[in-house]
Structure 1
């Protein structure tokens, strides 16, 4: 049997149901023919335009809540990466030939995320079932049959809405527990001997799940030394928070007895191979020696720490990078590098939520971080940490968790 090449673009256009593809900015990327017919808009009036510019809410009818509900659903999909099935919606549509006049429509939408290789939502498949005719049945003289259909449709819509509400409440409770668990396991801001350190943790805004970002500061044996580390566990919710706690505790213990950060990460890497949920977890560890004015570091798949010198020179500690913690069942020794600093320099560790943005190369985020640290390097660590978060995180909050550690050396 020979394979048949399938033209999926043609299949998409031939679908009998209304389907649109939206970008992460909620702009129409494509629509099928059924969507064009069902909405009464041409492709030119749809593709490339913001969805709520094409279909705004009816300002004259408070019962027409479709626009607000659809917007909330799409934002949930973007923040959670999960499909959202909406109950029946009344969505009034403005008549293009008679501006200011609105047609009463009833749609039942389903919004499904399409993720990229990084796991983040890149597109949303927006499918709409047109049920206006069923709702209008009684008005067209269907009598009892129309009333039965309308009652059944609304009943099922209420059941679906109640189920969605319960699921969101369950996710919200899990988020609260996960946040409480993280706060209990992550160390508070602290004074590191004569040196000040600031720590920050920001959960993703609007997300129903908290992730597994973490940080740690630990006093090391022998001389005036500390260990500073950050890490990131793939996943969400209580499971990710639990794995985060295990890996952070393991690295804390390993750092106290290891010869250097590479050896500490080697130990944690072997441990990560037997911890469910630690797949692809990343971490970076630094050992700061205040007597010798040196920083020794090693990275397991994590963005590089930043050393900001007193003269404004910014140094990315990127000469000892290796794959994530669990990448090798029998890990070989990880690389390790060292650099020097003068008193008054600043060491900054962070997770990718601080620098990564959709549709943007990571180098742009690193440059943004470097410039913010260079300009504000004379601020005390607490103030500097707040400024960095303010300047680098989006105004509405990041879609990924962010951990940040700032240490004045």
Structure 2
């Protein structure tokens, strides 16, 4: 038995509240009948036009901030992918019939994202509660009472808005301190003579610290070790575990016979580190003279080998469970791949390629396509291009570490 066919376009138009759909560029994609009625605009005056061309702040009022506050809220939704509820806002809305005349309105907006298959924001739902009449209802004809109540409510809304702004500023300062701490725990790529570029992007809202890491170490015999790893969780707790594991793997890789043994030692060490369970990591040894890459993976996504002709091979022949996932100790596997001069080795964490409700092969295909498109770029330019192609504007929704090394 099949259910009734629902006309969602009809439902949208019949919604009793004011609802509009905006593109990521903040242009109107659609608006329901109640929005058009309360805003005093026709569909032709809205659809396809930039929101703040239709509803700008009143140029005659230097203190007007409704449009500015609304834009900040919409940008937060675009960057975070999360709903944003605004405090009560006063807007001066220009009359469509009498340009130059402005009417004081009070709206309570809620802005929410609609996500596409890749997890990026494709539309914004802009819902508005019209409360002008509610604010003015008390007192009937007694104008001074109306104005006093109106001023009091607006003053409280502005105070809440200012508190929110101060909290955001404090959070931003906290992020700067945390980022400095995180960078102090991660190595610079200078030891490999300009061959490598590294990028580190904590998830939006994660205080700029996370459990993702990268590592680059010089090894005996004209070799270099390159690794990335991912501790479960976000924030300071994950970053503390990350610091311990990165240091341990960096030390182990200098004395181990190969990447498999380095991860084997790390797995033993992780058993004594609370919070290290199910950490994933991949270790590679690049041998310049032999033109080979030896690698081993503990449950991590496969490194990408970008060949000089732009084709991409994923190094997935030596994959084992994450750290602590197996109760008994066992040697870690490793495999070897050869490379030609001009190739590139790319290591990354899951924030670069994984998206909600999307198969991981789609993300890996997106990464391969980006690498192919920019395969002639140097390490720094290639790293920037990959981040631009794969991460949504405004910040990552998950922690991301990326290492690009020219071979």
Question: So what's the TM-score if we normalise by structure 2?
Answer: 0.74
> Which of residues 312, 315, 319 is equivalent to 1:318?
315
Conserved 8 A contact 2:305-2:343: no
> 1:315: Cα distance to partner?
3.7
Q: Which residue of 2 aligns with 1:39?
A: 39
Question: What is the CA deviation profile of residues 332-382 of structure 1, one whole-angstrom value per residue up to 9, with x for unaligned ones?
Answer: 877643211345654343456767899996434432323323x23xxxxxx
- Which stretch has the larger CA shift, 229-238 or 75-84? 229-238
Aligned length: 392
Conserved 8 A contact 1:85-1:109: yes
- Give 1:64-103 correspondences, 5 Å limit: 64-99=64-99, 101-103=101-103
Q: Unaligned regions of 5+ residues in structure 2, if any?
A: none
> What is the distance in 2 between the residues matched to 1:344 and 1:282?
29
> 1:171: Cα distance to partner?
1.9
> Which of residues 333, 347, 350 is equivalent to 1:349?
347
- Which stretch has the larger CA shift, 21-30 or 80-89? 21-30
Q: Which residue of 2 aligns with 1:379?
A: none
> 1:162: Cα distance to partner?
3.2
Q: Tell me: CA distance 1:369–1:150, structure 2 relative to 1, closer, same or farther (3 Å).
A: same
Q: Tell me: CA distance 1:337–1:268, structure 2 relative to 1, closer, same or farther (3 Å).
A: same
Conserved 8 A contact 2:106-2:131: yes
> Which of residues 371, 374, 377 is equivalent to 2:373?
371
> 1:179: Cα distance to partner?
0.4
Q: Which residue of 1 aligns with 2:381?
A: 387
Q: Which residue of 2 aligns with 1:165?
A: 165
- Give 1:213-362 correspondences, 5 Å limit: 213-220=212-219, 223-232=221-230, 236-256=234-254, 258=256, 260-262=258-260, 264-265=262-263, 271=270, 276=275, 283-299=281-297, 300-302=299-301, 304-309=303-308, 312=309, 314-320=311-317, 325=322, 328=325, 330=327, 336-342=334-340, 345-351=343-349, 362=363
> What is the distance in 1 between the residues matched to 2:225 and 2:180?
25
Q: Tell me: CA distance 1:159–1:67, structure 2 relative to 1, closer, same or farther (3 Å).
A: closer
Q: Tell me: CA distance 1:198–1:151, structure 2 relative to 1, closer, same or farther (3 Å).
A: same
Conserved 8 A contact 2:95-2:101: yes
**Alignment partner of 1:176 is 2:146:** no
> 1:216: Cα distance to partner?
0.7
> What is the distance in 1 between the residues matched to 2:227 and 2:349?
10
Q: Tell me: CA distance 1:263–1:126, structure 2 relative to 1, closer, same or farther (3 Å).
A: farther
Q: Which residue of 2 aligns with 1:381?
A: none
- Which stretch has the larger CA shift, 202-211 or 76-85? 202-211
> 1:269: Cα distance to partner?
6.6
Q: Tell me: CA distance 1:132–1:239, structure 2 relative to 1, closer, same or farther (3 Å).
A: farther
> 1:274: Cα distance to partner?
7.1
> 1:107: Cα distance to partner?
1.6
Conserved 8 A contact 1:172-1:208: no
SS of residue in 2 equivalent to 1:191:
helix
Conserved 8 A contact 1:18-1:127: yes
- Give 1:185-204 correspondences, 5 Å limit: 185-192=185-192, 196-201=194-199, 203=201
> 1:172: Cα distance to partner?
1.1
> 1:125: Cα distance to partner?
4.0
- Give 1:115-154 correspondences, 5 Å limit: 121=121, 124-133=124-133, 141-154=141-154
SS of residue in 2 equivalent to 1:297:
strand
> 1:137: Cα distance to partner?
6.2
SS of residue in 1 equivalent to 2:96:
coil
> What is the distance in 2 between the residues matched to 1:223 and 1:91?
69
> 1:103: Cα distance to partner?
3.5
> What is the distance in 1 between the residues matched to 2:226 and 2:286?
8
Q: Tell me: CA distance 1:285–1:235, structure 2 relative to 1, closer, same or farther (3 Å).
A: same
Aligned CA-pair RMSD: 4.6
Q: Unaligned regions of 5+ residues in structure 1, if any?
A: 377-383
> What is the distance in 2 between the residues matched to 1:121 and 1:269?
38
> 1:187: Cα distance to partner?
0.6
Q: Tell me: CA distance 1:225–1:391, structure 2 relative to 1, closer, same or farther (3 Å).
A: closer
Q: Which residue of 1 aligns with 2:111?
A: 111
